[in-house]
Each structure stands twice: as C-alpha cells, then as structure tokens.
Structure 1
Amino acid sequence: MSLSGALYNAFSGLRANTRAANVVSTNISNATTESYGRRSLELSPGAAGTSGGVRIDGVVRNVDPVILADRRLSDASHGYGNSLYAFSTRFEAAVGDSDTPGSLISRTLAFENALLTAASNPASTQRLEIVAESADALADKLNVLSDGIQEARETADRTIGMQVDRINDTMRSLERINERVRKAFNSGGDASSLLDERQRLLDGISEIVPLRVVQREQGQISVYTRGGATLLEMSASEIGFTRTAFITPDMGLGTGLSGLTLDGEPIVSTDRGMFAGGDMAAQFEIRDRLAPARQAELDGLASELMQRLDGITADASLVAGDAGLFRDINGGLSAGLNPAAFDPANEVGAAQRIRLNTDQVAPGAGNSWRLRDGMYAGTAGNVGDATLIQAIANALTDIAPPATTAFGTKPTSLTGLFGDFTGSVAGGRVSAENELSFLVSQQTAMKELELNQGVDTDAELQRLMQIEQNYAANAKVMSTVDELMERLLSI
C-alpha cells in the first residue's frame, strides 16, 4: 500500500469515527426522549479500484415496526378501558353505598326508617318533619344523579370534539412531514428527526383510535384506523363532528347528538364502526349507551317511587289523577287544581323532574301533618291515627312487579329496587376495573418490549470507547505517514 493510500484510509477512518461519535452522543442525550429512534451509522468498504478507505452510507433509525404497531394498539385498548373505568368509578362514587352518608341507598333507608318511626308516634310533629325532609332528600339525590349523568354525556361529547380536532390537526401535520421526508429521501439527506416527529405525532393519537400505518415509497406513510377508515393517503382526510352544548335525557345519536363524518360522508359512530377500539369509541359508548342506560334505571326508580305513592288508597283526600307525596314537575295540574299524577308514558327524564310535592308537604312549612291526615286534607285530623303513614311505608316494602319496564317483571319491593340498582353500579365498576387491569398489564408489557429496542446507554458508552480507540488508531497512522514522508523529503 502506498503512503498516500494509507493516508487516505486513515483520513476516511477519522471522518467515519467523528460521525459515529456524533451519532452515539445523540443517542445518549435522547435516551429518555419519547418517540426517539436509536440511530446507527452504516459503513461500507470503499469501492474497488479506488484508494479504499471506508465509506459512510448514512444514518439508520432503528425501530421495530411490528412492536411499535402492537404497542399503539395496546395504547388504544388502554384508552378505551380507562375511560369506561373512569365513568364507572365516578358514577359509583356519586351513587355511594349503604355505609356512605348521603348515598342513594342510605337516603332510601332513611326515608323508610323515618316513616316507621313516625308511624310509632304519629302525633309527633318532629317525626313527621323528618319524614318530609328525608323524602325531599331522596328526590334531590335522584335529581343530582340524573344531572351528573347528563354532565358525563356532555363531557364525553366535548371530548369527542377535541379528539376529532386533534386527529385532523395531526393528519395535516403528517401530510407536511411526508412531503419533507420525500424531499430528504430524494436528496440523500438524513430524515431521522422528521421520523422521530412523525412517530411522536402518531403516538399522540394512538390512545384515541387504533392506528394502522403502512410504509409507502420514498419514506412516506399512509395511516388508517384498524376499522378501515382512511386518515392519510397522499393527503389528509377530514373527520367531521358537531358538538352539543346541552344534552337532555331524551337526546341520542341521530336525535340531537352528532355522529362522525369522514370527508363529508356519515360513518358508523358506535363501537362497531371505523373508529372502534380507542378512547373516542369509549366516549361514544358513554354518551350513547352506558350513561343513557343508567339514566333509564334512575328514571325507572323515580317512576316507581311516584307511581307507588300516587295510588295510596288509605289517603281519602287523593282522587284519581292527583299526585301523591312525590310529583313530576312536568305533570301539570289535575282538574281539581292539584299536581297531576305521574304519567308512565313520560318516564324518560323522570329522575331529573321528580320533586317532593311541596305544595302540600314541605319541610319547615308547618304542613307535615298531611302525611298523617291526607295529602290534600284541609284540616288536621286524629293525631293518633298512623294508618296513612303505615300505608306509605308499606308501599316501599310491598313485593310487587315493577310498574316500570326498566327492571323487568320480577316482583320486588321499592327498597329492593334501589338496592339492586346500587349493586349493579358497583358490579359495573368491578367489571371495568378488571378489564382495565388486564389492559394496563398488556400496555406495560408492550412498552417494555419497545424500550428494549431503544437506546441502551451502557451499550452506547461501550461503542463510544471503541470509537475513541479507532480514532486514536487512525490518528496514529496519519502521524506515522507524516513522519515517513518527512524522512523521504529530507533524503
């Protein structure tokens, strides 16, 4: 080998080692950066017939596309399960259990106990007042729970709107990155930073919807949902959604609430549609199925409560069509100018509308004696007669088929219905928690697999030591060649 050939080889080695040191230092400094792909320098021998040396082919970004795709799918599943669990947990906390003061079941039992206590001493105004207060508290609890259901639906609707905006913005950004990657590919430039940004953007929406990424020519990608919706194919698609500021119990998908469109065309927005499997699907599930189902159960409880107490035959002051202890605020007035009895055909939203019949009995108004003498009685009667109070208590505990369709036809007491509802809410939370526990484990396992493909700082430091040794060796060759050339020139 000639001295010039040796000098060229050493020089190319120094250049390659300098570039390799930059790559390793970049890896180490970004070891904890999300969506960063570990770089490696690709080298090859110089072309035959030249002076040899080493040739830099470029920087390769090392990412396992299979592990990355599986991790994104686990992100979407986790987003779906986490949102359903959060809804179940919040609603269970709002309903409460028998040991929680102010819970639905505790207020039901407080109302029942107040009636039994008053029946033992119907002359006690204080005990009658407690009955009125506990009845008012029970109706208020149903109102609060129903309002909470609608707030959860409104929150889900707002979340869907924000997620749609985020996906649209992301796809437009990816469209621009695709073009920049194509230019870098054609010019031989390093597009690694662009690919990092592209992965970061995709990871940012991976919980919202399951993604399927397809590699195209010149480093570009196409993006689809697992359900088959095209999000990016040369150009970005546009997802459409209309937010609804105020949601009422009678509203549903297609009846006041918006679904999704893709490039202006309506698509299925349920959990079996093109966007199924991620957090967005969970928000639709909450808004259009889970929350309305709980609302229907609450409406059934309110309906049953009003219907059972509208028909108390022991109350001689009640006539057909009059409301009893509870009333529907949309019920209007009967012919006798009394609040009208609850209409079973108007059950939707009953839990929001149920109120204590305060025109006749109101806490602190001095008219609680009507609980003993008749809801529409004009004057007080026999203070020792507990017949009506006992009849109201019996209406809560009597075993009968539910008048509402929300709970089937199995005979049960009203108190039993409230208890079954509380148990059902707790059971729903347990099921959601078990499912989420599995999804968290799955996501953790996939992230660990992905991290194993990432930057190992120990290995990078070992590479850096090797690079330093190689650099020193090439520098020594250049120094030796320089000494030899000086000796030759001095002869």
Structure 2
Amino acid sequence: MSIARALGNAVSGLTATARGTETVAANLANAATPGYARRELAVSAQTAGGNAGGVRVDGVTRAVNASVLSESRLAEAARAEASTRLAFATTIEDQIGIAGNAGSLGAALTDFQTALSSAASRPDDEIRLTQAVDKAQALASRLNAASDQVQAARSAADQAIATNVATLNKSLAEVAHLNRRITVMEADGSDPSSLIDQRQGIISEISKIVPVQEVTRAAGAVALFTTGGAVLLDGTTPTAFGFDAAGQVTVGQTVGSGLALLTQNGIDLTQAQMRLYAGGSLAANFAIRDELAPAVQASLDDLAYDLHERLADPAVDGTLTATSAGLFTDDGVRASLADKTGLAGRISLNTAVIESEGGDVWRLRSGLAASAEGAVGDATLLVAMSDALNQATAALAGTGFSGKASLADRLGTVESQVSTARVNAQSDAAIRNGQADTIWSRLAADGVDSDAEMQRLLQYEQAYAANARVIQAIQTMMDQILGI
C-alpha cells in the first residue's frame, strides 16, 4: 500500500469517527426529548480500483421501528378517546351523586320524602309544612342543576370539537410544510433528521385527535390517512376541515337543528362519513355532544316527569283537575309528554305553596287548588303524597323506564346507569392506558441508551487513536525519507 493511500485511509477514518462522536453527542443531549429518534452513523468500505480505500460515510440514519411507532399512535388515539369519555362520565356522576351520599339527587329525594312524612305526623305544624316545601324546592333545584350540567358538558364538547379541528388544520399544514423542506434537504444531500423528528412529533399529536396511518412517499415526504381511510394529507395541500361551533348548547339541539358536523374541503360530511374519523378525542367529543349527554338528559327528564305525574294526579289531590298544575310544574304549568324533553331543567315547585311568591304552605295540607284552608289536623293529602312517591306504579308511556317501581327505585335506576357508565369508562381508560404505556415502553427501548452510547463513544475514541497513530507513523516515515 502506498503512503498516499495509507494517509487517505487514515483521514477518512478520522472523518468517520468525528461524525460518529457527533451522533453520540446528539443522542445523549436529546435522550429525553419527545419525538427524538436515536441517530446511527451509516458507513461502508470505500474502494478505489478494486482495492480498499478507507471508510465512506453514507449518512446518518434515524433508528425508528415504524410498526411500533404506528401502534403507539393508534394506542394514543384510543387513550385520548377513553380519557375524554371518562372525564364526562365522572362529571355526570359527581353531579347526580352516588346513592346515599350527601348532596346527591337521591339524598334530595329522601329528604323530601322524610319531610313529607314528618309533616303528615303533625299536619298542624306549619314549620314542618315549610320544611317539606323547602325540601321539595331543593329536589327541583337538584334536578335543574343536573340538567344544566349535562348541557354544560355538551357545550364543552362542542367547543372542544372546534379546538380539535383548529389544531388538526394547523398541524396538517405544518406537516405539509415540513414535507417540502425535507424533500429539498434530501435533494441537496443535507441531513433532514431534525425536521423528521419534528414532523414525527406533530403527527403523534394529530393521532390523539384522529387515529393516523402514515405512508412513506418519495423524497422523504409522507402521506397521512385516518384508520377509516379518509385522506388527511397526500401531496402538497392538506385536507381542510371546518366546524361551526354552536356556542351554548341547549336542550333539544341536535345535528341539523342547531348543531353541525364536520366539513371537508367545504363539503358537509354525513353521519356515515363521520365514521371515517372514529377514534381519538374528536370522535369522543362528538359522542358526548350527540349521544352520551342526550341519553343522560333523557333519563333525568323521565325521572322529572314521573315525579311530576305522581303528585299532579287528581286521585292524590282531589282539588286538582286533569289540566291543573300539581306540586311540581313545568315552569308554572302542567307538564306534558310532548314537551318532556328538557323537563328536568325546567321543573319547579308550584308557587301556590311558596310564601315568598304569594302562596300558602297550608295548601300542602288542604290541596293545591283549595279555595280555603281545611282542618289543620287533616293529614290525608300529605299521606297520599307520600304514598304516591312510594307506590310501585307502572312505567309511564313515552319514558325509558319499564316495569313497576317507586320513584326512589326509578331514581336508583338512573343512578345505577350513571355509575355503571363511569365504571365502564374507567375500566376502558385503564385498559387503553395500559396498552399505550406498554407500546410506549417498546418504542422507548429503541431510543437512546446512555450506556450503549458511552460504549460507542469509547469505540470511536479507540478508532480515532488508531487512525491518528497511522498518520503519526506516516509523518515519521516522511521525515526519515526527507532526511536521507
């Protein structure tokens, strides 16, 4: 081997070790950086005329397990969807309360029934009558608050959809921009690894909103599709999504009647097309707004209607007619099955028994529509009201209840549904979190291992020293030759 070739080999070795130490330094510096992929130096033997010619640096590669990365994104989408549903279920359970807990809807009903029984035992005691009125008002207020919370959750979900869409559009535009920059850097031979890391992080954030499948295109670009097959980005222009937020969602608003779905490039999507975007926080927020919250509202409305009908029955209070407002009213009038939607938010106590509204508490004893106060010792109506609440009656037509049950049993059914929904959501979230964490651990295993990086650094140091000794030997030989 000639001295010139030996020198060239040694110089190429020094260049490779210098690049190698740079990759090690970058790996160690970014070991905890989200989205950073471990760098590896790609080298090969350089040949010249069939003879060894040193080391050629082919570039720096990113060590990423594409299949695990794809699984991780899908798992994060499932985690985001489950956590969004769990937050809603927990909020509703906290508002309605667990059976037996102070401040719950069940506790309010129990307090009212207890107050009625107490008043029935001493119908002449106006303090007890007043307490029964207060507890009835508290029960109506608890129903109102639960209904308001359901609609607040729908409004929050509607706003979250708007935020998701804005983030999705912004992120897709950033990925398209990075695609163009990466393509340019690939063309001029530069290392685009840092831009690819940045793009990977953005795509991972998109996947929390909508599950994403990444497809590699030419020159380092990528295309993005949902798992349902909808195109998010394939080319230079991303899909533009639109959404008209309703602001404050009210009872009775549905899709097409005050509430909107997504638009894609200016075209309204149908319910069937929305399935292409299933999974992730976007789908969870649509489910809360359009399915989960309305179902809870319907149960509360059924409960309020059952309460209203039990105490508006002329068989219970003989002073009432079939059209009279009972102890509980729909904003002052008798409730009707046709207008049952949203009744839980409107139900209120009849002002005929509220002294601050010009009413008289003795009407709770003598009859809501009585023309004059009856005997102070007559507990017939109070007992009838208490019995009406406790009686196991058939489910009213048009409600979601079935079979015979007392009002407390009906409420127990609603509480059970709400608690079961929360438990199921919590269980699903735990499963999704476990899956996501497991896959993330597998992805992290391919990340930066500081011990392995230090070992590589020692190897580069040894290679550097070996090449430096070759150059030193060549210098000694040249000095001897020149000294002859």
For 1:222, the equivalent position in structure 2 comes to: 223
2:467 aligns with 474
What is the distance in 2 between the residues matched to 1:217 and 1:266?
32
CA distance, structure 1, for counterparts of residue 442 and residue 183 of structure 2: 30
- Structure 2, unaligned runs of 5 or more: none
Question: What is the alpha-carbon distance in structure 2 between the residues aligned to residue 302 and residue 210 of structure 1?
Answer: 40
The answer on 1:251 being equivalent to 2:244 is no
1:296 aligns with 2:298: yes
Residue by residue, what CA displacement relative to the aligned partner does 1:275-311 show, whole Å, maximum 9, x if unpaired? 1011111101100000000000111111111112111
Structure 2 vs 1, CA of residues 74 and 314 (structure 1 numbering), >3 Å: closer, same or farther? closer
> Which structure shows the bigger proportion of residues in helix conformation?
2
The alignment's C-alpha RMSD in Å is 1.6
Cα separation, partners in 2 of 1:394 and 1:363, compared to 1, 3 Å: farther
- Decide whether the 8 Å contact of 1:5 with 1:51 is kept in 2: no
Instruction: Give the Å deviation of 1:312.
Output: 3.6
Shift of 1:53: 1.3
SS at the partner of 1:102? coil
Deviates more, 1:50-59 or 1:197-206: 50-59
TM-score normalised by the chain length of structure 1: 0.95
Residue 269 of structure 1 contacts residue 281 of structure 1 at CA under 8 Å; is this kept in 2?
Answer: no
Q: Relative to 1, partners in 2 of residues 1:435 and 1:128: Cα closer, same or farther, differing over 3 Å?
A: same
Mapped to 2, the partners of 1:176 and 1:2 lie a distance apart of 50
Q: Specify the alignment match of 1:63 in structure 2.
A: 64
**Residues 97 and 106, structure 1, Cα contact 8 Å, conserved in 2:** no
1:451 paired with 2:450, answer no
Q: What is the letter of the counterpart of residue 199 of structure 1?
A: Q
Displacement after TM superposition at 1:397 (Å): 1.0
Q: 1:381 corresponds to which residue? A: 374
Distance 1:450 1:6 in 2: 42
**Partner of 1:347 in structure 2?**
340
1:356–1:362 contact (8 Å) kept in structure 2: no
- Length, aligned pairs only: 482
Residues 352-405 of structure 1, C-alpha deviations (whole Å, 9 max, x = no match): 110011244347977211100111224322111000001111111111112253
Q: What amino acid does structure 2 have at the position aligned with 1:347?
A: K
Q: Using the alignment, how far apart are the partners of 1:448 and 1:270 within structure 2?
A: 36
C-alpha spacing 1:447/1:197, structure 2 compared with 1 (3 Å): same
Please list, as runs of the form range in 1=range in 2, the aligned pairs for 1:11-410 lying within 5 A after superposition. Answer: 11-49=11-49, 52-234=53-235, 235-269=237-271, 273-329=275-331, 339-362=332-355, 367-410=360-403
Greater mean deviation of Cα atoms: 356-365 or 205-214? 356-365
Please tell me whether the aligned partners of residues 352 and 360 of structure 2 are also in contact (alpha carbons under 8 angstroms). no
**Could you say if the C-alpha distance between residues 108 and 31 of structure 1 is closer, same or farther in structure 2, counting changes exceeding 3 Å?**
same
Give the distance between the partners of 1:174 and 1:348, measured in 2 at CA.
Answer: 45
Q: Is the 8 A contact 1:129 1:364 kept in 2?
A: no
Q: Which amino acid aligns with 2:284?
A: A
- 1:194, 1:321 → 2: CA distance? 72
Task: Please give the alpha-carbon distance, in whole angstroms, between the structure 1 residues aligned to 2:9 and 2:311.
Answer: 99
- Distance in 1 (alpha carbons) for counterparts of 2:366 and 2:335: 22
TM-score (norm 2): 0.97
Partner SS for 1:385? coil
Q: 3-state DSSP class of the match of 1:52?
A: strand
Name segments (4+ residues, structure 1) moved above 6 Å: 363-366
Equivalent pair of 1:153/1:286 in contact (CA under 8 Å): yes
Q: Equivalent residue of 1:409, what SS? A: coil
For the Cα contact (< 8 Å) 1:361–1:375, is it kept in 2?
Answer: no
Taking the aligned partners of 1:359 and 1:374, their CA distance within structure 2 comes to 10
User: What secondary structure does 2:275 align onto?
Assistant: coil
Distance across 1 between alignment mates of 2:346 and 2:359: 24
Q: In structure 2, what residue type is equivalent to 1:387?
A: T
Instruction: State the identity %.
Output: 39
Alpha-carbon contact 1:312-1:392 (below 8 Å) kept:
no
Amino acid of the residue matched to residue 258 of structure 1?
Answer: A
Q: Is the 8 A contact 1:314 1:387 kept in 2?
A: no
Distance 1:66 1:116, change over 3 A: same
Give how far 1:268 is off: 3.8
Deviation at 1:443, TM superposition (A): 0.5
Give the equivalent residue in structure 2 for 1:423: 416
Task: Give the match for residue 336 of structure 1.
Answer: none
Find the counterpart in structure 2 of residue 464 from structure 1: 457
Q: Distance in 2 between matches of 1:37 and 1:268?
A: 39
Structure 2 CA distance for aligned equivalents of residues 302 and 9 of structure 1: 88
Report the counterpart of residue 333 of structure 1 in structure 2: none
Partner SS for 2:150: helix
- Whether the aligned pair in 2 keeps the contact of 1:111 and 1:134 (CA below 8 Å) is yes
Aligned mates of 1:476, 1:362 — CA distance in 2 = 104
Matched letter for residue 88 of structure 2: F
Unaligned runs of 5+ in 1: 330-338
Cα separation, 2, equivalents of 1:485 and 1:213: 57
Secondary structure, counterpart of 2:102 in structure 1: coil
Tell me the secondary structure at the aligned position of residue 442 of structure 1: helix
1:271–1:82 Cα change, 3 Å: farther
Give yes or no for contact 2:316–2:388 (8 Å, CA) kept in 1: no
In the TM superposition, what whole-angstrom CA distance separates every residue of 1:151-207 from its partner, at most 9, and x where no partner exists? 000000000111001111111111111111111111111010110010010111211
Flag the 1:444–1:269 CA change in 2: closer, same or farther, 3 A. Answer: farther
Comparing 259-268 and 109-118, the one that deviates more: 259-268
CA contact (8 A) 2:352 2:363 kept: no
Letter in 2 for 1:226: T
Asked if structure 1 preserves the Cα contact closer than 8 Å seen for 2:351 and 2:359, the reply is no
Partner Cα separation in structure 2 for residue 416 and residue 362 of structure 1: 31
User: 3-state DSSP class of the match of 2:40?
Assistant: strand
Is 1:442 equivalent to 2:435 in the alignment?
yes
Contact 2:351 2:357 in 1 (8 A): no
Shift of 1:424: 1.3
SS in 2 for 1:213: strand
1:471 is displaced (CA, Å) by 0.5
- Cα distance in structure 1, aligned partners of 2:377 and 2:357: 21
Q: Residues 103, 146 of structure 1: CA spacing in aligned structure 2 closer, same or farther, 3 A cutoff?
A: same
SS at match of 2:246: coil
Distance in 2 between residues matched to 1:31 and 1:362, nearest whole Å: 71
